[in-house]
Structure 1
Amino acid sequence: MIHNAISHCCLAGKVSEPQWNQILEELEKCESNHLMILFRDAGCQFRALYKYHPNTEESQKLTGTGPKSISKSMIDKLYKYSSNWKQFTVLPAKNVSMSVIALTIHNHLWQVKRSV
Protein backbone atom coordinates (compact mmCIF):
# COMPACT_ATOMS: atom_id res chain seq x y z
CA MET A 1 0.00 0.00 0.00
CA ILE A 2 2.76 2.46 0.94
CA HIS A 3 4.60 1.64 -2.28
CA ASN A 4 1.51 2.40 -4.38
CA ALA A 5 0.68 5.58 -2.48
CA ILE A 6 4.16 7.01 -3.01
CA SER A 7 4.65 5.91 -6.61
CA HIS A 8 1.15 6.78 -7.90
CA CYS A 9 0.31 9.82 -5.83
CA CYS A 10 3.12 11.42 -3.82
CA LEU A 11 6.10 11.10 -6.14
CA ALA A 12 4.60 10.28 -9.51
CA GLY A 13 6.48 11.29 -12.64
CA LYS A 14 10.00 11.46 -13.99
CA VAL A 15 10.99 14.56 -11.99
CA SER A 16 10.53 12.67 -8.69
CA GLU A 17 12.49 9.59 -9.79
CA PRO A 18 15.70 10.30 -7.80
CA GLN A 19 13.74 10.79 -4.57
CA TRP A 20 11.61 7.71 -5.32
CA ASN A 21 14.76 5.59 -5.85
CA GLN A 22 16.12 6.72 -2.47
CA ILE A 23 12.84 5.75 -0.81
CA LEU A 24 12.90 2.34 -2.51
CA GLU A 25 16.33 1.70 -0.97
CA GLU A 26 14.99 2.54 2.49
CA LEU A 27 11.93 0.33 1.96
CA GLU A 28 14.16 -2.63 1.08
CA LYS A 29 16.22 -2.18 4.28
CA CYS A 30 13.27 -1.57 6.61
CA GLU A 31 11.76 -4.45 8.55
CA SER A 32 8.89 -2.46 10.07
CA ASN A 33 5.31 -3.65 9.55
CA HIS A 34 3.86 -0.14 9.61
CA LEU A 35 5.27 2.73 7.56
CA MET A 36 3.80 6.21 7.32
CA ILE A 37 4.27 9.20 5.05
CA LEU A 38 4.69 12.70 6.48
CA PHE A 39 2.94 15.44 4.51
CA ARG A 40 3.75 19.13 4.84
CA ASP A 41 0.04 20.04 5.01
CA ALA A 42 -3.42 19.13 3.65
CA GLY A 43 -2.02 19.53 0.13
CA CYS A 44 -0.50 16.06 0.64
CA GLN A 45 3.03 17.14 -0.35
CA PHE A 46 5.44 14.32 0.50
CA ARG A 47 8.12 15.26 3.02
CA ALA A 48 9.39 12.07 4.68
CA LEU A 49 8.88 8.38 5.33
CA TYR A 50 8.62 7.04 8.89
CA LYS A 51 8.41 3.66 10.57
CA TYR A 52 5.77 3.46 13.30
CA HIS A 53 6.33 1.68 16.62
CA PRO A 54 2.90 0.79 18.13
CA ASN A 55 4.33 -0.06 21.55
CA THR A 56 5.72 3.48 22.05
CA GLU A 57 3.24 5.23 19.71
CA GLU A 58 6.22 6.97 18.13
CA SER A 59 7.45 7.18 14.55
CA GLN A 60 11.12 7.26 13.54
CA LYS A 61 12.25 8.92 10.31
CA LEU A 62 13.72 6.68 7.61
CA THR A 63 14.30 9.32 4.95
CA GLY A 64 13.17 12.79 3.93
CA THR A 65 12.65 16.18 5.56
CA GLY A 66 11.01 16.36 8.96
CA PRO A 67 11.58 15.70 12.65
CA LYS A 68 13.72 12.68 13.63
CA SER A 69 10.73 11.28 15.48
CA ILE A 70 7.03 12.05 15.75
CA SER A 71 5.08 11.49 18.94
CA LYS A 72 1.31 11.26 19.30
CA SER A 73 1.06 14.86 20.57
CA MET A 74 2.73 16.20 17.40
CA ILE A 75 0.11 14.71 15.03
CA ASP A 76 -2.36 17.09 13.44
CA LYS A 77 -4.23 14.93 10.89
CA LEU A 78 -4.21 11.26 9.88
CA TYR A 79 -4.82 10.00 6.34
CA LYS A 80 -5.74 6.76 4.63
CA TYR A 81 -5.00 5.93 1.00
CA SER A 82 -7.49 4.59 -1.52
CA SER A 83 -5.72 2.50 -4.15
CA ASN A 84 -8.89 2.54 -6.29
CA TRP A 85 -9.09 6.34 -6.39
CA LYS A 86 -5.33 6.91 -5.99
CA GLN A 87 -5.92 9.60 -3.40
CA PHE A 88 -5.62 10.31 0.31
CA THR A 89 -8.53 11.12 2.59
CA VAL A 90 -8.50 12.49 6.14
CA LEU A 91 -9.48 10.08 8.88
CA PRO A 92 -11.61 11.54 11.68
CA ALA A 93 -9.45 9.72 14.25
CA LYS A 94 -6.65 10.94 16.49
CA ASN A 95 -5.11 7.51 17.14
CA VAL A 96 -2.85 5.71 14.69
CA SER A 97 -4.18 2.38 13.41
CA MET A 98 -3.16 0.03 10.62
CA SER A 99 -5.39 1.96 8.18
CA VAL A 100 -3.33 5.13 8.71
CA ILE A 101 -0.78 5.54 5.94
CA ALA A 102 0.05 9.25 6.19
CA LEU A 103 -0.03 12.14 8.64
CA THR A 104 0.61 15.82 9.09
CA ILE A 105 2.12 17.47 12.12
CA HIS A 106 1.08 20.75 13.72
CA ASN A 107 2.19 23.74 11.64
CA HIS A 108 4.32 25.36 14.37
CA LEU A 109 6.57 22.27 14.34
CA TRP A 110 7.72 23.24 10.83
CA GLN A 111 8.91 26.68 11.89
CA VAL A 112 12.64 27.17 11.62
CA LYS A 113 14.23 28.35 14.84
CA ARG A 114 16.70 31.12 14.10
CA SER A 115 19.44 32.16 16.45
CA VAL A 116 19.89 35.88 17.08
Structure 2
Amino acid sequence: TSSRPINQNGDKDWETGSSGTSPAPEYTGPKLFKEPSLKSNKFIIHNALSRCCLAGKVNETQKNKIVEEMEKSSANHFLILFRDANCQFRGVYTMNPDTQELVRLAGVGPRSVSSGQVEAIFKYSSDRKQFSTIPSKTMGMSVDAFTIPSQLWQGGATHPERGNGGVSF
Protein backbone atom coordinates (compact mmCIF):
# COMPACT_ATOMS: atom_id res chain seq x y z
CA THR A 1 0.00 0.00 0.00
CA SER A 2 0.96 3.62 -0.56
CA SER A 3 2.10 5.84 2.25
CA ARG A 4 0.51 8.84 0.51
CA PRO A 5 -2.67 10.21 2.10
CA ILE A 6 -5.78 9.46 0.06
CA ASN A 7 -8.93 11.56 0.28
CA GLN A 8 -12.47 10.17 0.19
CA ASN A 9 -12.53 10.10 -3.63
CA GLY A 10 -9.40 7.97 -3.79
CA ASP A 11 -7.38 10.91 -5.23
CA LYS A 12 -4.04 11.99 -3.88
CA ASP A 13 -4.20 14.78 -1.29
CA TRP A 14 -2.26 17.63 -2.92
CA GLU A 15 -1.95 19.58 0.33
CA THR A 16 0.12 17.01 2.23
CA GLY A 17 1.28 14.40 -0.24
CA SER A 18 3.73 14.41 -3.10
CA SER A 19 3.32 12.77 -6.46
CA GLY A 20 6.65 11.04 -6.29
CA THR A 21 7.88 12.73 -9.51
CA SER A 22 10.69 15.25 -9.52
CA PRO A 23 9.82 18.94 -9.74
CA ALA A 24 9.72 20.56 -13.19
CA PRO A 25 13.20 20.98 -14.63
CA GLU A 26 14.69 24.47 -14.53
CA TYR A 27 13.55 26.48 -17.58
CA THR A 28 16.49 27.29 -19.80
CA GLY A 29 14.70 28.74 -22.84
CA PRO A 30 14.50 32.39 -23.83
CA LYS A 31 13.64 34.87 -21.10
CA LEU A 32 10.03 35.83 -21.65
CA PHE A 33 9.97 38.26 -18.76
CA LYS A 34 12.01 41.35 -19.42
CA GLU A 35 13.24 43.41 -16.49
CA PRO A 36 11.30 46.67 -16.41
CA SER A 37 13.34 49.46 -17.92
CA LEU A 38 12.74 53.15 -18.10
CA LYS A 39 10.76 54.01 -21.19
CA SER A 40 12.93 55.59 -23.85
CA ASN A 41 11.97 57.96 -26.63
CA LYS A 42 15.24 57.45 -28.53
CA PHE A 43 13.44 55.79 -31.46
CA ILE A 44 10.87 58.62 -31.66
CA ILE A 45 13.58 61.31 -31.64
CA HIS A 46 15.56 59.38 -34.26
CA ASN A 47 12.43 59.31 -36.47
CA ALA A 48 11.79 63.01 -35.87
CA LEU A 49 15.35 63.87 -36.90
CA SER A 50 15.25 61.63 -40.00
CA ARG A 51 11.78 62.54 -41.26
CA CYS A 52 11.20 66.07 -40.02
CA CYS A 53 13.98 68.12 -38.39
CA LEU A 54 17.00 66.99 -40.39
CA ALA A 55 15.39 65.24 -43.34
CA GLY A 56 17.16 64.96 -46.68
CA LYS A 57 20.66 64.55 -48.02
CA VAL A 58 21.82 68.06 -47.08
CA ASN A 59 21.31 67.32 -43.37
CA GLU A 60 22.61 63.75 -43.40
CA THR A 61 26.05 64.50 -41.90
CA GLN A 62 24.60 66.55 -39.03
CA LYS A 63 21.85 64.00 -38.41
CA ASN A 64 24.34 61.10 -38.33
CA LYS A 65 26.57 62.93 -35.81
CA ILE A 66 23.61 63.59 -33.53
CA VAL A 67 22.31 60.00 -33.78
CA GLU A 68 25.83 58.79 -32.94
CA GLU A 69 25.89 60.99 -29.81
CA MET A 70 22.46 59.65 -28.81
CA GLU A 71 23.70 56.06 -29.20
CA LYS A 72 26.69 56.78 -26.95
CA SER A 73 24.49 58.35 -24.27
CA SER A 74 23.10 56.31 -21.39
CA ALA A 75 20.05 58.61 -21.22
CA ASN A 76 16.54 57.30 -21.85
CA HIS A 77 14.83 60.60 -22.62
CA PHE A 78 15.97 62.92 -25.39
CA LEU A 79 14.50 66.30 -26.30
CA ILE A 80 14.94 68.45 -29.38
CA LEU A 81 15.53 72.16 -28.88
CA PHE A 82 13.79 74.38 -31.43
CA ARG A 83 14.74 77.97 -32.16
CA ASP A 84 11.09 78.98 -31.80
CA ALA A 85 7.53 77.78 -32.42
CA ASN A 86 8.38 77.31 -36.13
CA CYS A 87 10.16 74.12 -35.03
CA GLN A 88 13.55 75.01 -36.51
CA PHE A 89 16.03 72.42 -35.18
CA ARG A 90 18.88 73.62 -32.96
CA GLY A 91 20.02 70.71 -30.80
CA VAL A 92 19.30 67.55 -28.83
CA TYR A 93 19.18 67.54 -25.04
CA THR A 94 18.89 64.89 -22.37
CA MET A 95 16.79 65.36 -19.27
CA ASN A 96 17.90 64.53 -15.76
CA PRO A 97 14.70 63.00 -14.28
CA ASP A 98 15.69 63.98 -10.73
CA THR A 99 16.52 67.66 -11.29
CA GLN A 100 14.42 68.21 -14.46
CA GLU A 101 17.51 69.93 -15.90
CA LEU A 102 18.04 69.70 -19.65
CA VAL A 103 21.64 69.21 -20.76
CA ARG A 104 22.81 69.71 -24.35
CA LEU A 105 24.01 66.50 -25.98
CA ALA A 106 24.56 67.79 -29.52
CA GLY A 107 23.85 70.83 -31.67
CA VAL A 108 23.68 74.46 -30.58
CA GLY A 109 21.97 76.18 -27.69
CA PRO A 110 22.61 76.72 -23.99
CA ARG A 111 24.76 74.06 -22.32
CA SER A 112 21.98 73.51 -19.81
CA VAL A 113 18.42 74.71 -19.36
CA SER A 114 16.29 74.41 -16.23
CA SER A 115 12.72 73.23 -16.70
CA GLY A 116 11.57 76.67 -15.50
CA GLN A 117 13.25 78.28 -18.51
CA VAL A 118 11.31 76.20 -21.03
CA GLU A 119 8.87 78.34 -23.01
CA ALA A 120 6.83 75.73 -24.92
CA ILE A 121 6.82 71.93 -25.19
CA PHE A 122 6.01 69.68 -28.13
CA LYS A 123 5.11 66.07 -28.91
CA TYR A 124 6.17 64.37 -32.14
CA SER A 125 3.57 62.49 -34.15
CA SER A 126 5.19 59.69 -36.17
CA ASP A 127 2.00 59.34 -38.23
CA ARG A 128 1.81 62.99 -39.25
CA LYS A 129 5.59 63.47 -39.21
CA GLN A 130 5.21 66.75 -37.36
CA PHE A 131 5.36 68.29 -33.92
CA SER A 132 2.38 69.67 -32.06
CA THR A 133 2.36 71.96 -29.04
CA ILE A 134 1.41 70.41 -25.72
CA PRO A 135 -0.72 72.84 -23.69
CA SER A 136 1.29 72.32 -20.51
CA LYS A 137 4.47 73.47 -18.81
CA THR A 138 5.23 70.14 -17.17
CA MET A 139 8.34 68.42 -18.47
CA GLY A 140 7.58 64.70 -18.58
CA MET A 141 8.45 61.59 -20.54
CA SER A 142 5.83 62.47 -23.17
CA VAL A 143 7.70 65.65 -24.19
CA ASP A 144 9.84 65.31 -27.34
CA ALA A 145 10.86 68.92 -28.01
CA PHE A 146 10.94 72.36 -26.42
CA THR A 147 11.66 76.04 -27.04
CA ILE A 148 13.30 78.62 -24.81
CA PRO A 149 12.54 82.36 -24.62
CA SER A 150 14.27 84.40 -27.34
CA GLN A 151 16.33 86.38 -24.81
CA LEU A 152 18.15 83.15 -23.92
CA TRP A 153 19.43 83.04 -27.51
CA GLN A 154 21.13 86.44 -27.15
CA GLY A 155 24.87 86.51 -26.66
CA GLY A 156 26.30 83.08 -27.20
CA ALA A 157 29.17 83.07 -24.72
CA THR A 158 28.57 83.39 -21.00
CA HIS A 159 29.13 86.91 -19.72
CA PRO A 160 28.72 86.78 -15.93
CA GLU A 161 29.05 90.54 -15.64
CA ARG A 162 25.96 91.02 -17.84
CA GLY A 163 24.07 88.04 -16.50
CA ASN A 164 22.19 85.61 -18.68
CA GLY A 165 19.33 84.39 -16.56
CA GLY A 166 21.20 81.37 -15.22
CA VAL A 167 21.77 79.84 -18.65
CA SER A 168 25.27 78.69 -19.49
CA PHE A 169 26.34 78.42 -23.11
Same fold per superposition (TM over 0.5): yes
- The equivalent position to 1:47 in structure 2, one of 68, 90, 97, is 90
Name the SS for the 1:109 alignment partner.
Answer: helix
What is the letter of the counterpart of residue 66 of structure 1?
G
* Larger helix proportion of the pair: 1
User: CA offset at residue 73 of structure 1?
Assistant: 1.8
Name the SS for the 1:20 alignment partner.
Answer: helix
Match of residue 21 from structure 1: 64
User: CA offset at residue 7 of structure 1?
Assistant: 0.7
User: CA offset at residue 21 of structure 1?
Assistant: 1.1
Q: Which runs of 4+ in 1 moved over 3 A?
A: none
User: CA offset at residue 15 of structure 1?
Assistant: 0.5
Bigger relative contact order (CA 8 A; separation at least 6): 1
Q: Which runs of no fewer than 5 residues in structure 1 stay unpaired?
A: none
Q: Compute the TM-score of the two structures, normalised by the length of structure 2.
A: 0.66
What is the letter of the counterpart of residue 7 of structure 1?
S
Quote the Cα distance in structure 2 between the aligned partners of 1:54 and 1:28.
19
Q: Compute the TM-score of the two structures, normalised by the length of structure 1.
A: 0.95
Quote the Cα distance in structure 1 between the aligned partners of 2:148 and 2:108.
12
Quote the Cα distance in structure 2 between the aligned partners of 1:7 and 1:25.
13
Larger Rg: 2
Match of residue 72 from structure 1: 115
Match of residue 89 from structure 1: 132
User: CA offset at residue 90 of structure 1?
Assistant: 0.3
Quote the Cα distance in structure 1 between the aligned partners of 2:77 and 2:132.
18
User: How many correspondences in the alignment?
Assistant: 115
Identical pairs, percent: 52
User: CA offset at residue 31 of structure 1?
Assistant: 1.0
What is the RMSD computed on CA atoms of the aligned residues?
1.4
* Larger strand proportion of the pair: 1
Q: 1:18 to 1:56 in 2, by over 3 A?
A: same
